Structures are given as structure tokens and as C-alpha cells.
Amino acid sequence: MRVVVVQFPGTNCEFDTRYAFERLGAKVEILWHKEREIPQGSDLVVLPGGFSYGDYLRSGAIARFSPIMEGVRRFAQKGGYVLGICNGFQILLESHLLPGAMKRNANLHFISKFHHIKVLHNDNKFLSKTRKGEILYIPIAHAEGNYYVDDEELKRMHERGQILLQYCDAKGEYANPNGSLEAIAGICNEQKNVFGLMPHPERACEPLLGSDDGLRMLQGFLD
């Protein structure tokens, strides 16, 4: 499998992401944001975490205009798989490749810690190696992770199974760290080929790091 990790000015998780996918046996290329096309033969494009353009204006608001994003859009429109992690998720929202928007965390502070998340839907490529209802232990690190979408779109997303991950505690009970609507931690598009989540699975790929739950999440793309 060939994975492309896009690097923007301010990206800081590209090497963690490459390491995680290489552990799974994938071939990984880091692609500078000024490129205009996704390389031929790519199976997955990842927009990794960080602070693209210093998070000026809004997180992801400037990165959405980077030349590579038109290539990412075309790749997704042809059915290619795209994964946005944290800042990458914010970029996908700003680019309208995923529905909704991000607001500042409800407590107005940057949050950096491990948190539990629950799998709500696994009938998709990304979470196919997890179980519905499974509790995962994954790091979060963000200041703007407060996901919002209007009521009509939220209803449609529920009907289509687009809400994939929800923040919870170790027992699976409601536990919302950032004020996100319905404690939403991850979503996908209607076609289920574009995915976004605020937690960092690439930072949970070895027991030594505190959890390897993230590795099973990413492994779904390799089947």
C-alpha cells in the first residue's frame, strides 16, 4: 500500500504518521503542500496534525488554499481514501470535504492528554479492524476541537452512519473534553472515503507510548 502524507508549514506529525504506517508495512511518501497532484498509484492521502500556517485566522483556514488541496479534492472525488488527523481534520472541514466546523474548546484552553473514544460505526475502511462499541485509548492535543454542525446536517449524518467516533470514559459513558456537539470525535463523508478525527492514532502505535489502539485503527486502510 502506498500512503502520501501531506506536509504544510507548521505540520508537526508527519514523521509520527509515516512511522505508524511503515510499522504496518506501507510505503510512505511525505509530500510538500506546494505540489499540485497526488502521485499516481497512491492508495491513501493523510493530512496530519500540527499547526498549519500557525493556525492564523482559524485552524486550517489558510492551508485549505495550498496548491495540493485541489489535488486532494480530485483524489477524493475519484474515490481515493483521505484521512485528516487533528489539524488535518480541521483542513478538511475548511475545504468542505467534510461537513461542519470547528470552534475553540469550551474551556478555551489547549488540551493535551490521553482520552477514551467509542467506535459508533465500523462499516467503513478506516475502522474495519475495530468493533462497534469498542472503547479505544488515544491521545488528543488541540485548542479547536469543539465540533459543530447544524441540526439538519447532524440528522442526515446520523442517518448515513457518518458519525464514527465519540468521546467517552473508560466504561463508555459520556465524557466530553472539549464541548464538541454530542461529544463527536470523528466523522466521514457520505461516500465513506474521506475521514476526519481529532484524536491522534499515530501517537498510539506502541504499548510503550501508552496504547497501541491507534495502530488497529490505521490498519483498516491496508486491507
DSSP letter assigned to residue 155: H
Catalytic residue among 13, 86, 188, 205: 86
Catalytic residue among 14, 94, 144, 202: 202
User: CA-to-CA distance for 20 and 218, rounded, in angstroms?
Assistant: 8
pLDDT above 90: residue 103:
yes
- Active-site residue flag, 188: no
The three-point CA angle 184-133-95 to 5° equals 30
* Per-residue confidence band for 184, with pLDDT thresholds at 50, 70 and 90: very high
Give me the pLDDT at residue 22, please: 98
Give per-residue burial for 31-40: e unless 16+ CB within 10 Å, then b.
Answer: bebeeeebee
- Active-site residue flag, 153: no
pLDDT above 90: residue 47:
yes
Of the two residues 56 and 144, the one the predictor is more confident about is: 144
Instruction: Please give the residue range of the domain that contains residue 204.
Output: 2-222
Q: Where does residue 54 fall: left (phi above 0), alpha (psi -120 to 50 degrees), or beta otherwise?
A: left
Range list of β-strands (E), 38-171: 44-47, 81-85, 101-103, 111-119, 135-142, 146-148, 163-168
Catalytic residue among 115, 116, 142, 200: 200
pLDDT tens digit sequence for 189-213: 999 999 999 999 999 999 998 999 9
pTM of the shown model:
0.97
Of 29, 44, 40, 31, the closest CA to residue 80 belongs to 44
pLDDT more than 70, % of the chain: 100
Q: How many domains does the chain have?
A: 1
* Per-residue confidence band for 223, with pLDDT thresholds at 50, 70 and 90: confident
CATH of the domain at 82: 3.40.50.880
Q: Which residues contact 173 (CB under 8 A, 6 or more apart)?
A: none
- Active-site residue flag, 35: no
Mean pLDDT across the chain: 97
